[in-house]
A and B are shown apart, each in its own frame.
Chain A
Amino acid sequence: MPDVITSDGSIRPDDWVVVPRPADGESLDIPEQPALIPADLWLAGKEHFEDRDDIGVWLDSHEEPEILAGVVNELPVIAVNFPKFSDGRGYSIARLLRERLSYRNELRAVGDVLLDQLQFMKRCGFDTYVLRADKDINKAARCLNFFTQGYQAATDTDEPLFRRRAS
């Protein structure tokens, strides 16, 4: 069972699984344990999951978070997949979920999640991270906090430095 990192740098065991998109013609196989399923499939069959409070969704980097407008807070967890760490779309997706769609529950980074991207992710509104298995999870706390502040407003702060300076 993979551990997840939280934004304060602590590590906790966790049993959510990411359910891959089924191949064409196959149906979605929902496990007993807490599961993250492709967001569009959840939307299409939302009513089937109403008796479970351990179903969340995941968005791939090319998907539009806007499809979840209005229903985000029905979900306990939304994950955003980074197919490759250099694919930066997930940062915009995260900010849109938080700042535009007012998502309040857990936002998780999955996929090619490496140490040096963690602080950017945190600033964009993620609060849990599944580090790629070959990376040293014990270095996460340090990498989440290389910087004590930033220049910009982002999901983590409404106060860009130019406003803090002025006050």
Chain B
Amino acid sequence: MYVYDEHDRQMAAERVAQFRDQTERALAGELSEDEFLPLRLQNGLYVQRLAPMLRIAVPYGMLRSAQLRRLARITRDYDKGYAHFTTRQNVQLNWPEIEDVPDILAELAEVEMHANQTSGNCIRNTTTDQFSGVQADEITDPRPYCEIIRQWSTFHPEFAFLPRKFKVAVNASEQSDRAAIQVHDIGLQMLRNDQGELGFRVHVGGGLGRTPMVGPVIRDFLPELDLLTYLEAVLRVYNRYGRRDNKFKARIKILVKALTPEGFAAKVEEEWSHIKDSPTRLTREAIDQFKGYFTEPDYQQVPDVKDVLATQRFENREFDQWIGHNVDTHKNPGYAIVTLTMKKTGTPPGDVSDRQLEQIADLADQYSFGEVRVTHQQNVVLADVRKDQLFELWQAITPMDFATANLNTLTDVICCPGGDYCALANAKSIPVAESIQRQFDDMDYLYDIGNIDLNISGCMNACGHHHVGNIGVLGVDKKGQEFYQISLGGSSHHDAAIGKILGPSFAREDMPEVMQKIINVYVDNRTEEEPFLDTYRRIGIEPFKERVYA
């Protein structure tokens, strides 16, 4: 994992001093609300319905145990003792005091953390696949490139006041896309060309929100050394020509659509032709230096435990289910990837208490080289668990409520904070998630219906990624009443698609039943082994409509 050097430390300290100065000037009335707004947003500070909200960056989802412990302490000392994992791999505090934020930032800086650019119209935290570096099918570990992008985008002097926020995601797996790159402003898919050289396929203009869009490809192969100059060209074209007259038309996707992807690509290529050999061009040495931070941990020779595991699974059904769902294949045969699910029914998806943060830190130290990854599905991954410790780990996490064996199933809901916390909400989202989790509480049934992405947002800002849920739920306001619109067929993976709206919206109390009907249509129509999305794609939306609105 990346470790700060003296340069990073100095800039982090200067950033804290700067924000302290800005906060003091704001509190002294020297900065108007309007002027302070982008400054505090660039430090992750929103002012919300109930209290300010502070979003802390977790670069590409990686956390060390010491950082988790510090987060736990901060939630205790400055907040109400819990935090929230977000759909962009970050962490949010819901109740800090504005005056305390500089102190919180200072505490974060001590453990090499910050809240830079977690909000505002600038380049946000770069996200990636939570299984980076440990999965068998990846082109290369994307994290060094994410760190390169993080550093390039941090306090970039030209791009601090873009028309709108800007998000970059990187994926390096051939078979899967756990980073949802096609719904990002820039999505980078790593690949090798015919000569075996490493590079990126560049998607641009994806996004959710009001105008959901799957990002078209504007470059099939970008050599790795050209990464930053090309990003700079894209950002410059966007900064110059993106719309600034209408907030809802300001995302890069609107510009790409207006110019057409080909037209946009041509403008980028033109700009890039001037700067591709500028000093911003990466060097082989620099990339190697970054790669040096992401070397393999000290893997041990783990004895073959296939038989032991088989017996344990045979004798213990719940362990068997957990292995089947929450444990993934590691590139090293002695190890496994374990996802700790934060989705126990009754707790808001992604919420963790201070105590749980410390428990996760302890688990990381004991079982996974002291590191974890936050996922955009709001879970936490222990990426390097010895197979001979799986049973022991499972026993340890079961009482902590991290072993709910529902990963990727219908009840592994992605859900935004919604009306319980968020000033922009049309409707609550957490109670809907909970009522659906209760409806589908039979694990055998849940496994039978297989992997289904259920994503819930409390308004069209789409923090809960509802457009790309296989089933999406969107809170809408009808004459002051909370209603829920359902869409079907979305995907955030390699086959990215925006879901189609089923029809008129429903009252909250009807949601579990409606969801049940949707699942029933699937079960009645599926062929053997066919997942929900494939059935939907085969039979279309009509049969679902007929049943639900019958």
Residues of A within 8 A of B (CB): 85-89, 91-92, 95, 99-100, 114-117, 119-124, 135-136, 142, 146-154, 158-166
**By the criterion CB–CB under 8 Å, are A150 and B157 in contact?**
yes
**By the criterion CB–CB under 8 Å, are A166 and B286 in contact?**
yes
CB distance from A111 to the nearest CB of B (A): 13
Contacts A/B (CB < 8 Å), 29 sampled: A87-B161, A87-B244, A88-B161, A89-B240, A91-B161, A116-B22, A117-B160, A117-B161, A121-B157, A122-B157, A124-B158, A136-B30, A146-B17, A146-B21, A147-B15, A147-B18, A148-B10, A149-B10, A150-B157, A151-B151, A151-B152, A151-B154, A152-B156, A153-B279, A162-B289, A163-B283, A164-B7, A165-B286, A166-B285
Interface flag for B367 (CB, 8 Å): no
The 6 closest A-B pairs by CB, nearest first: A88-B161, A123-B157, A162-B286, A120-B157, A153-B279, A146-B18
A149 to B14, CA, bound (A): 10
Chain A residues within an 8 Å CB radius of B121:
86, 88
CB distance from B124 to the nearest CB of A (A): 15
**By the criterion CB–CB under 8 Å, are A100 and B155 in contact?**
no
CB distance from B426 to the nearest CB of A (A): 27
Interface flag for B261 (CB, 8 Å): no
Closest to A154 in B: B157
**By the criterion CB–CB under 8 Å, are B157 and A152 in contact?**
yes
Within 8 A of A (CB), among B271-290: 274, 278-280, 282-283, 285-286, 289-290
A120 to B162, CA, bound (A): 13
**By the criterion CB–CB under 8 Å, are B35 and A85 in contact?**
yes
Chain A residues within an 8 Å CB radius of B17:
146
Chain A residues within an 8 Å CB radius of B133:
none
**By the criterion CB–CB under 8 Å, are B239 and A162 in contact?**
no
The verdict on A91 contacting B157 (CB below 8 Å), with A116-B22, A146-B14, A148-B14 known, is: yes
A123 to B239, CA, bound (A): 16
By size class, the interface of chain B is 35 or more
**By the criterion CB–CB under 8 Å, are A163 and B286 in contact?**
yes
Interface flag for B159 (CB, 8 Å): yes
Identify the interface centre among A100, A136, A161: most chain B CB within 10 Å of its CB. Answer: A161
**By the criterion CB–CB under 8 Å, are B151 and A162 in contact?**
yes
Chain B residues within an 8 Å CB radius of A100:
274
Closest to B242 in A: A89
Closest to A88 in B: B161
Chain B residues within an 8 Å CB radius of A117:
160-161
**By the criterion CB–CB under 8 Å, are B38 and A92 in contact?**
no
Interface flag for B39 (CB, 8 Å): yes
A152 to B159, CA, bound (A): 12
Chain B residues within an 8 Å CB radius of A121:
157
**By the criterion CB–CB under 8 Å, are A165 and B279 in contact?**
no
**By the criterion CB–CB under 8 Å, are B279 and A158 in contact?**
yes
CB distance from A61 to the nearest CB of B (A): 9
The verdict on A161 contacting B283 (CB below 8 Å), with A89-B239, A119-B157, A146-B14 known, is: no
**By the criterion CB–CB under 8 Å, are B7 and A149 in contact?**
yes
CB distance from A95 to the nearest CB of B (A): 6
**By the criterion CB–CB under 8 Å, are A161 and B157 in contact?**
no
A111 to B343, CA, bound (A): 51
CB distance from A86 to the nearest CB of B (A): 5
Closest to B235 in A: A92
Within 8 A of A (CB), among B135-169: 148, 151-152, 154-163
Identify the interface centre among A85, A115, A123, A151: most chain B CB within 10 Å of its CB. Answer: A151
**By the criterion CB–CB under 8 Å, are B280 and A160 in contact?**
yes
A150 to B155, CA, bound (A): 7
The verdict on A86 contacting B155 (CB below 8 Å), with A91-B239, A146-B17, A162-B289 known, is: no
Chain B residues within an 8 Å CB radius of A149:
7, 10-11
A92 to B237, CA, bound (A): 9
The verdict on A161 contacting B35 (CB below 8 Å), with A91-B158, A146-B18, A152-B157 known, is: no
Closest to A136 in B: B30
A149 to B10, CA, bound (A): 9
Interface flag for B236 (CB, 8 Å): yes
CB distance from B331 to the nearest CB of A (A): 28
Chain B residues within an 8 Å CB radius of A148:
10, 14
Interface flag for B5 (CB, 8 Å): yes
A92 to B151, CA, bound (A): 19
Identify the interface centre among A89, A114, A115: most chain B CB within 10 Å of its CB. Answer: A89
Chain B residues within an 8 Å CB radius of A99:
278
**By the criterion CB–CB under 8 Å, are A85 and B161 in contact?**
yes
Within 8 A of A (CB), among B4-37: 5, 7, 10-11, 14-15, 17-18, 21-22, 25, 30-31, 35
